Structure 1
Amino acid sequence: MVLNFKKLCLLIITSFFSALTLHAQDDAAELAKKLANPIASLISAPLQNNTDYGIGTFNGSRNTLNIQPVVPISVGKNLNMITRVVLPVITQYNITGEGQKQSGLGDAVMSAFFSPKNSEKITWGVGPALLLPVGTNDFLTAKKFGMGPTAVALKQFNGWTVGALANQLWSVAGNADRPDVSQMFVQPFLVYNWSSGAGLGGNLEWTQNWKTNQTTVWLNPTLSGVTSLGSQKVQFAVGPRLNLAAPDGGKADWGWRAVVVFLFPK
């Protein structure tokens, strides 16, 4: 009887911890799925660091830390507004000239996506995007206020997320001595997430300056994972950056990306 009772206790304890493990995996998988969706109803604070080397004539380097908070807001029974801000903090060497250094804030882009709360097949969102001239160095800002449309569409199935995000910005005010802005940004993305919360994927970042007819393209493969630091849910991601196209004299030899995302699930 005693032996059977011990076996029963052991079985209960084993089942309890197994359930906790499965719940943690399910939780991580669900968070990873939401993070693969740029307009998911999830408050997050991504810190994306890009470091690039061998840029241009003077073999320069650039480090860009993008601070990218995402806050969803319910604006109706069936509609969310997902607000996103990208604020770059930049330090660069030997870009504008040999021995030259610039550092400070770059111009920010603020987007608001209006998205249905219940999308059956395709998840989508559309709204306005704003270019905010908050750059603190003449080489890091266009000194123009701009606006335009932005949109995102994606599909999630069997662990896969496939989609694309795009915006177009035109300057409408600002320093008259600076060139006008007409710039398109397109970002196709593809991610596969396992039930553990680990993910493998990447995106293509294509920026087109219509005024100067200059094209910049980056390919960013990443490996990611969701974990906990105490009670704080966090996603980590890392991968190389491949500069496929750039204006004359501005192409980088290579780079890398590291991301930390602080998650605040409801």
Structure 2
Amino acid sequence: MTIAKRPLRLAMAAASFAACGAWAQDDADLQKKLANPIADIVTLPFQWTTNYNAGPFEKPQYTLNIQPVYPIKIGGGWSLINRAIVPLLSNPAVLPGQDRKNGLGDITYEAFFAPPAGEAGWIWGFGSATVLRTATDDRLGAGKWSLGPAVVGLKESGPWTVGALATQVWSVAGDDNQPNVSAFSFQPIVSYRLDSTQSLGYIGIVTADWEQKRSSQRWTVPLGVSYSLLVRPEGFVPMNFVVGAGYNVIRPDNASDWFVRFQVNFVLPK
């Protein structure tokens, strides 16, 4: 190697090293946003869950949730975060002689108003949750239109993101022959970043059906853990893969005990 070429090679190596450092920082920032349900990024997650031993005949129940998130800037640093959950269900029989029922469940739309992130990593938002009567069969939905408040709050500190998202909905219209709805959900947000592309977290949503008179049939409390990997395929959008499993430590009769989950999340350009 000539002396003239050495500075060029050194400059190229330094630029490559700096680029790798920038990518690592970008990945770490993106991981933070992926753990934040009201982050300013457009995402399209596909979440597959298998719930084992569901129903009176202890058969598996399958759910594919399509969960797009689209934020909109509305001025003053505030954002409107639009989140939807579109469930495709495969529910086992609940009576002798019944077949498994497959189809669309009730779609949920959540809208959060979120201010700019506060000091010390505090992030919060408030809004509403609306459950649409979209199920293609009575066994796949509640048969009601439901509405209620939604709140989210979390804190980012070092490799940790910790918080929760909670909703409460009540039925406001629908089939009079179906039971009324008064449903609470509490989604813990716990994420620990192992490095710029990997993290561990909690999976599961605590739910309560207030229409159940017996407390033993009211609550579902899962305990689960997940592993997340962020990748950037060449010529494609960033993708986040999540695998996990959990156990419902408190659950109603005939509810699933174990569950496993796989999710792929596409991070889309705005």
Q: Which residue of 1 aligns with 2:242?
A: 237
User: Does residue 31 of structure 1 match 2:35?
Assistant: no
Shift of 1:220: 2.9
Q: Which residue of 1 aligns with 2:220?
A: 216
Instruction: Please give the alpha-carbon distance, in whole angstroms, between the structure 1 residues aligned to 2:149 and 2:14.
Output: 52
> Could you say what secondary structure the match of 1:4 adopts?
coil
Q: Deviations over 1:40-71 (max 9, x none)?
A: 11111111110122224312001101110111
**Structure-2-length-normalised TM-score:** 0.92
CA contact (8 A) 2:238 2:266 kept: yes
Shift of 1:84: 0.6
Q: Deviations over 1:203-252 (max 9, x none)?
A: 34111000014212222311101111233111111011212222112233
Instruction: Please give the alpha-carbon distance, in whole angstroms, between the structure 2 residues aligned to 1:143 and 1:4.
Output: 78
Taking structure 1 as reference, are residues 151 and 97 closer, same or farther at Cα in structure 2, changes over 3 Å only? farther
Q: Which residue of 2 aligns with 1:259?
A: 263
Q: Give structure 1 stretches of 5+ with no counterpart.
A: none
RMSD over aligned Cα atoms: 1.7
Q: Which residue of 1 aligns with 2:137?
A: 137
CA contact (8 A) 1:108 1:133 kept: yes
Shift of 1:107: 0.7
Instruction: Please give the alpha-carbon distance, in whole angstroms, between the structure 2 residues aligned to 1:239 and 1:189.
Output: 14
CA contact (8 A) 2:199 2:228 kept: yes
Indicate the larger mover: 223-232 or 159-168: 223-232
> Could you say what secondary structure the match of 2:18 adopts?
helix
Taking structure 1 as reference, are residues 228 and 97 closer, same or farther at Cα in structure 2, changes over 3 Å only? farther
Q: Residues 162-173 of structure 1 correspond to what in structure 2 (within 5 A)?
A: 162-173=162-173
Taking structure 1 as reference, are residues 61 and 97 closer, same or farther at Cα in structure 2, changes over 3 Å only? farther
Could you say which structure has the higher strand fraction? 1
Instruction: Please give the alpha-carbon distance, in whole angstroms, between the structure 2 residues aligned to 1:235 and 1:51.
Output: 20
Taking structure 1 as reference, are residues 15 and 82 closer, same or farther at Cα in structure 2, changes over 3 Å only? same
Q: Give structure 2 stretches of 5+ with no counterpart.
A: none
Taking structure 1 as reference, are residues 107 and 50 closer, same or farther at Cα in structure 2, changes over 3 Å only? same
Shift of 1:156: 0.1
> Could you say what secondary structure the match of 2:11 adopts?
helix
Q: Residues 1-266 of structure 1 correspond to what in structure 2 (within 5 A)?
A: 2-97=1-96, 100-121=99-120, 122-213=122-213, 214-229=218-233, 230-252=235-257, 254-266=258-270
**Structure-1-length-normalised TM-score:** 0.93
Shift of 1:118: 3.6
Percent identity of equivalent pairs: 37
Instruction: Please give the alpha-carbon distance, in whole angstroms, between the structure 1 residues aligned to 2:96 and 2:224.
Output: 27
> Could you say what secondary structure the match of 1:232 adopts?
coil
Aligned residues: 264
Taking structure 1 as reference, are residues 97 and 215 closer, same or farther at Cα in structure 2, changes over 3 Å only? farther
